[in-house]
Amino acid sequence: MGDRLTGQVAFITGAARGQGRAHAVKMAGEGADIIAIDVCGKLPDCVPYDSATPEDLDETVRLVEETGRRIVTSIVDTRDYEGMRDAVDRGVAELGRLDIIVANAGIASPQVWDQITPESFRDVMDVNVTGTWNAVMAGAQKIIDGGRGGSIILISSAAGIKMQPFMIHYTASKHAITGMAKAFAAELGKHSIRVNSVHPGPVLTPMGTGEMPAQISAAGESNPQLAHMLTPFLPSWVAMPEDIADTVCWLASNESKMITAQAIAVDQGSTSY
């Protein structure tokens, strides 16, 4: 437990499990109250892994409250602009302010290039790009209104720096988030709001459940020479959600007060070549 975020409020998308839950618990442990949202239901048809549930979000609530902090939750799809604004409005009304946005929600769908349908491409772009934009738009004015500055962290991917084989739509969406962070940073900087993107490599989350491993393997068989595009330098191939949350919390804190418009890789070196 620490005090790096004492008195602050963070809005986190995709908070029911995985990285989103880890961000919420880490920030609560550093003193922040949390506004948490998740779709908690069926994901687009192209997604091969299990969906989050309301019970998953309840567990996030339990873990945050265990730290002694408050949390306000909403079940809402990040593609729903008005729903996102309502969730933030309700959270700020209850918790009193907003200082941090973590646009974490996203989906992935392993598919060989000529198996991607227009519907799949649109769904991945809508959730990952439009959903991220919605998160910033839902909360940025609240941070400005507070007059204290703040931090916005957009969760991209190693695919947003390099690329991810067999995920053209995912790669395109994560590159878009990288650019979005820099563009928001330029315009929000005058309000002392910093905007950065975080780029994890493989992370052990529920995104690896269901049919995801089988689909990754099947796609890889179409072009085996691409299998090691993201080979890490460090011994571990996979990070834990808490490893990414450490970096996100640092970017939310005053310790990174001079850092904005940066793409921060947390990928064991895999995008460095």
Q: How far apart are CA 30 and CA 27, in angstroms?
A: 5
Asked if 267 and 44 touch (Cβ cutoff 8 Å), the reply is: no
What is the amino acid identity at position 13?
A: T
Of residues 44, 117, 111, 55, the one with CA closest to residue 78: 44
Distances (CA, A) of 147 to 92, 143, 190, 193: 15, 7, 11, 10
Q: How far apart are CA 185 and CA 133, in angstroms?
A: 13
Q: How far apart are CA 163 and CA 226, in angstroms?
A: 11
DSSP 197: E
| 33-38, strands of its sheet edge to edge | 71-75, 33-38, 9-13, 100-103, 150-155, 193-200, 263-266
Instruction: Confirm whether 170 is a catalytic residue.
Output: yes
CA–CA–CA angle 1, 9, 158 (5° rounding): 80
Exactly one of 49, 81, 170, 273 is catalytic; which is it? 170
Active site residues: 170
